[in-house]
């Protein structure tokens, strides 16, 4: 048995996946390097379970994954990790961290009424509108609407309106964050809590093994994940800038937009 386990936690949209095309072709060399070295790649996204499964299949990835900004952790039953879990779902042990969607929806509707700010939750969009807005396929757009632990939404308003909604959500006892396209209302979850929880599961299962963790992201919702790992990388956003609100000690700035920066960061860390 190796005396070290390396786990790479990565965001998807705008990080491993190109913001517009959702392609990871520019990260192929780094992905191959991880596979050849036996390094674990854990997808940690705002995407729903079914959306993430699409990319797990494309990547031939059989690792645990984290959905909906840390709303839940999915661990394949055959993976061999022992842990406490809330339920099983099609061959996965599911650790639930986030609040149920219906609880979020009730609170969201109340906030809409009380503030008068123009808010639109993802379930209120048609599938065609989501396709136009995101560039997703129709299948993925349908999956994007089927959230279980988070409520993505858009705000049609000023910076003052955005701040008002953020404060109202937080005063209501929920979390607010922003991804590449949507704002998110959540329960007590974030990516960092889920990442820390999964790292702890690995440590309890491999008590004699050193665990090294790496995180890569691009948006504000990745901040808690980057705070939870040993080595942290921020890739450039689609316009070539870094998310200026992410301030973390020992943060590494990957030289490239999305998967280009991802590729450089991983190859620089682990080699070809």
CA–CA gap between residue 189 and residue 182 (Å, rounded): 17
Q: Which residues are catalytic?
A: 11
DSSP state of 100: P
Report residue 19 as tokens: 């913001």
- Beta sheet of 150-156, edge-to-edge order: 118-121, 150-156, 183-186, 175-178
User: Is residue 153 within 8 Å of 178, Cβ to Cβ?
Assistant: no
Those residues whose C-beta lies under 8 Å from the C-beta of residue 53, and which sit 6 or more positions away, are none
Sign of the dihedral through C-alpha 129, 131, 134, 135: negative
User: Is residue 76 within 8 Å of 95, Cβ to Cβ?
Assistant: no
Query: In DSSP terms, which residues pair with 236 in a beta bridge?
Result: 257
């Amino acid at each position: 048995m190796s005396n070290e386990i390396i786990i790479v936690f990565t965001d998807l949209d705008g990080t491993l996946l190109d913001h517009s095309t959702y392609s990871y072709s520019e990260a192929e060399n780094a992905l191959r390097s991880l596979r050849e070295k036996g390094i674990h790649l854990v997808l940690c996204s705002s995407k729903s379970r079914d959306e993430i499964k699409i990319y797990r299949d494309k990547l031939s990835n059989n690792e645990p994954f984290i959905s909906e900004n840390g709303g839940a952790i999915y661990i394949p039953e055959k993976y061999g990790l022992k842990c406490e879990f809330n339920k099983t779902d099609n061959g996965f042990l599911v650790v639930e961290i986030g609040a149920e969607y219906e609880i979020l929806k009730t609170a969201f509707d109340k906030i809409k009424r009380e503030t008068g700010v123009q808010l639109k939750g993802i379930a209120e969009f048609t599938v065609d509108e989501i396709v136009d807005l995101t560039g997703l396929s129709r299948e993925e757009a349908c999956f994007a609407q089927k959230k279980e632990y988070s409520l993505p939404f858009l705000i049609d308003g000023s910076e003052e309106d955005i701040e008002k909604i953020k404060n109202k959500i937080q005063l209501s006892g929920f979390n607010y964050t922003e991804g590449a396209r949507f704002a998110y209302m959540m329960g007590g979850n974030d990516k960092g809590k889920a990442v820390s929880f999964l790292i702890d599961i690995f440590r309890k299962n491999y008590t004699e093994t050193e665990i090294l963790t790496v995180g890569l992201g691009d948006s504000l919702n990745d901040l808690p994940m980057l705070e939870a790992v040993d080595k942290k990388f921020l890739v450039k956003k689609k316009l070539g800038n870094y998310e200026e609100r992410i301030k973390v000690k020992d943060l590494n700035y990957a030289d490239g937009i999305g998967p280009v920066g991802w590729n450089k960061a991983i190859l620089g860390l682990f080699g070809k």
